[in-house]
Structure 1
Amino acid sequence: MGIPTEPIGSIPRPPALLAAMSGGGETELAAAQAAAVADTISRLEAIGCPVLVDGEQSKPSFATYPITGMAGLAPDGAVIPFADGHTRQLPRLTAGPFRYQVHADAYLRAAREHTALPVKQAVIAPSALSLLYPADGIEGYPRKAFVDDLLAEAEADIRGCLDAGAHVVQLDFTEGRLSLKLDPSGGLLDDFVALNNLVLDRFTEAERARIGVHTCPGGDQDSTHSADVDYAGLLPKLFGLRAGNFYVQLASEPEPDRVLEIVAAHLPPGATVFVGVTDPIDPQVETPEQVRDRVLAAARHLPVERLGTCDDCGFSPFADDTSTSREIAFAKIAARVEGTALASARLGV
């Protein structure tokens, strides 16, 4: 079988989809999204990807898809600053009850119409959506009621994807590393982990084997929001999440061996860690040999039977991010697939 390799989620949108997003009607947009999903899956198959994604071609962003079209939102929510000076801002919830407007199984079902290969589905972690609730509360809708609603909706989002045949459901947890910048004491991170575990505990051990968690320092417009936060503060707590798979950004880390030592010391029994071997915001395309060597380095620290590879992050996780071309993304994915195969052959697996 070799070392498993999986994408993270997003892939840059093609020009026709970007044009439809900026000025087309609903019918034109839906057609462009469907065409982009079909093209994404076809190209990933042609590369030889053993596990596919839809590239999030129909999502407005990896984070906000569940609340698209939701009433009771104000635009002045939490602000996420990036290293280059630009920001992203979440909306603020103004009224309850909190209900997802879109569940991710709809994206998965559409993708599976185009392929017989395994398809994974990314969902947003409930900890990220917890940031929608304002610090001063909402009259008539206490935080406990919001959290109860959030947990139920997050469970339904994951369970719907498992029931629809997802190979793996991946919780996007980019706010984990960011939390240590917002609260260096680690208290916010503890709260995030506890909240996510309340959802994960609703699943059986067999179901959790098909659930993973992705961590990265964010990637938007060739910048990050928390790459300067030391992984040593995050990873031991991250591995307290009761999931079967972990996807860890590594290719862009300045000290990968030190990170791998932390991973090796804290990886839960039975879990698989997928290490990032391509950097989505670096315009230089990795060679298969570079990927191979990164995998071999990881195998010096981790049991090969518990090792996989991935991209560091999704490519262009916000739909309006055009900093990375679609062609570069597919070239990097091809290098990941080929380089992982080279490492598998070298390791005899």
Structure 2
Amino acid sequence: METSRDRILITHVGSLPRNDVLTELLIKQEAGETVDAGQLAAEKDKAVAEIVARQTAAGVDVGNDGEQQRVGFQTYVPQRMSGFGGESIRPHPRDLKEFPELMEVQKRRFPRRGKGHNNPQAVAELKYLDTGPIKEEVARFKKASAGQFKEGFMTAPSPGIIATTMLNAYYDSYETYLKAIAREMAHEYKAITDAGLTLQIDAPDLAMARVINFQDLSDAEFQKLCEAQVEAINLGIKGIPRDRVRLHVCWGNFEAPHLFDIALDKVLAIFLRAQVGALSIEFANPRHAHEYPTLKTIGFPKDMLLIPGVIETTSNFVEHPELVARRIEEAVASIGDRERVIASTDCGFGTFAGREWVIAPVVWKKLEALRQGADIASQRLWGKKSAA
């Protein structure tokens, strides 16, 4: 995994805006409607090539395919795994239940989008069917990105976010279900790292699920579930060198008050049990921007990279580069090592097809601000102008 040896590198969390044509095709495919396979492949080729070019133009060092090839960061899984059927009745976030007016506004804002709720549920033994689709995604990205990034990565969902999205109606316990998912997703995790890419495990379940699936539990009860979810991650990536895996955790990439989020100091120690080489975590989120001191009080491992979110992903404000630089400097101070910090966004900009909070032109401006802020911070941290 790349480190910031002579300047602060920048990355992002994975999803980037999809164009309208690709969005419509992906949503239709997810809904079971007929989609022309040739047209879909051609649109994916076009979108991945464009998204790679956009990232390099913005100065991204560690990039990916922008999840252009998926309808959602985790909801694509039933297309690749048997054992799902029926419908999950997943709770709405506590914030939206407490503020129903906000839920109505969001329904009007995103009338047609990829599924975030009411996906299939597990109704039989899970079986990962074929690594062909993930290998196709990897090949398309590698072809488009050859020589463009210092490092390429590919995302895949954690067992926990799959389990809390596609609910269990078959296995005898939540823990058994987690292990079954980990066993099957291991095929996808390994295919990504075997191709020479860094694997990013997306695990919003480790924080966000507190206000969705587990909103009626105590913090202590949620912590126990988090421990099981991290164990499942470790099971799924067993045998993969930890420096080939980074873990993303967030409190949910949706606009809401976030009044009921669990505090970082209650879960960070659990996150750090994951056998990964880097932790990507929100710090631009207004409800969590104050939590850098937790990295000191809990203690951040000397052999782990920190990928702090210093760009917020649900508003069309473009952060000033000076603010970005200050956030990066605070991150560096919190772990005491400039080389182990890679600056990032809080979350993805295209979590589900058709549900983009930030318009595409502003996304690129935000990534440019990330690059500019990282360069300012680099000049201060290394005492010289950073190399482009």
Deviations 1:279-298 (A, max 9, x none): 01011011222211111222
Q: Contact 2:63 / 2:152 at 8 angstroms: preserved in 1? A: yes
Query: Residue 253 of structure 1: SS of its match in structure 2?
Result: coil
What's the Cα RMSD here?
A: 2.6
Q: Does 1:173 align with 2:203?
A: yes
Aligned to 1:208: 242
Percent identity over paired residues: 21
Aligned to 1:15: 20
Aligned to 1:58: 69
Greater Cα offset, 11-20 or 224-233: 224-233
Give the Cα separation in 2 of the matches to 1:78 and 1:28: 33
Quick one: which of 164, 168, 186 aligns to 1:155? 186
Stretches of structure 1 that go unaligned for 5 or more consecutive residues are none
Instruction: Give the CA deviation at 1:27.
Output: 2.4
Give the Cα separation in 2 of the matches to 1:5 and 1:282: 20
Q: Does 1:74 align with 2:85?
A: yes
TM-aligned CA distance change 1:109 to 1:142, over 3 Å: same
Instruction: Give the CA deviation at 1:305.
Output: 2.4
Instruction: Give the CA deviation at 1:253.
Output: 3.4
Stretches of structure 2 that go unaligned for 5 or more consecutive residues are 1-5, 29-34, 96-101, 107-115, 384-388
Deviations 1:70-90 (A, max 9, x none): 554234225152334366233
Q: Does 1:346 align with 2:380?
A: yes
Q: Contact 2:117 / 2:165 at 8 angstroms: preserved in 1? A: no
Instruction: Give the CA deviation at 1:199.
Output: 2.5
Query: Residue 125 of structure 2: SS of its match in structure 1?
Result: coil
Give the Cα separation in 1 of the matches to 2:47 and 2:259: 31
Q: Contact 2:258 / 2:287 at 8 angstroms: preserved in 1? A: no
Give the Cα separation in 2 of the matches to 1:332 and 1:143: 39
Q: Does 1:291 align with 2:324?
A: yes
Q: Which amino acid aligns with 1:272?
A: L
Greater Cα offset, 225-234 or 315-324: 225-234
Query: Normalization by structure 1: what TM-score?
Result: 0.88
Q: Contact 2:323 / 2:373 at 8 angstroms: preserved in 1? A: yes
Query: Residue 98 of structure 1: SS of its match in structure 2?
Result: strand
Give the Cα separation in 1 of the matches to 2:127 and 2:333: 46
Q: Contact 2:83 / 2:126 at 8 angstroms: preserved in 1? A: no
Deviations 1:196-218 (A, max 9, x none): 12233433xxx211201001111
TM-aligned CA distance change 1:121 to 1:52, over 3 Å: same
Q: Which amino acid aligns with 1:164?
A: A
Q: Contact 2:7 / 2:378 at 8 angstroms: preserved in 1? A: yes
Aligned length: 341
Quick one: which of 20, 29, 45 aligns to 2:40? 29
Matches within 5 A, 1:107-186: 107-115=137-145, 116=147, 117=149, 118-131=151-164, 137=170, 149-166=180-197, 168-181=198-211, 182=214, 183=217, 184=219, 185=221, 186=223
Query: Normalization by structure 2: what TM-score?
Result: 0.80
Q: Contact 2:318 / 2:362 at 8 angstroms: preserved in 1? A: yes
Aligned to 1:92: 121
Matches within 5 A, 1:166-245: 166=197, 168-181=198-211, 182=214, 183=217, 184=219, 185=221, 186-203=223-240, 207-220=241-254, 222-223=255-256, 228-245=261-278
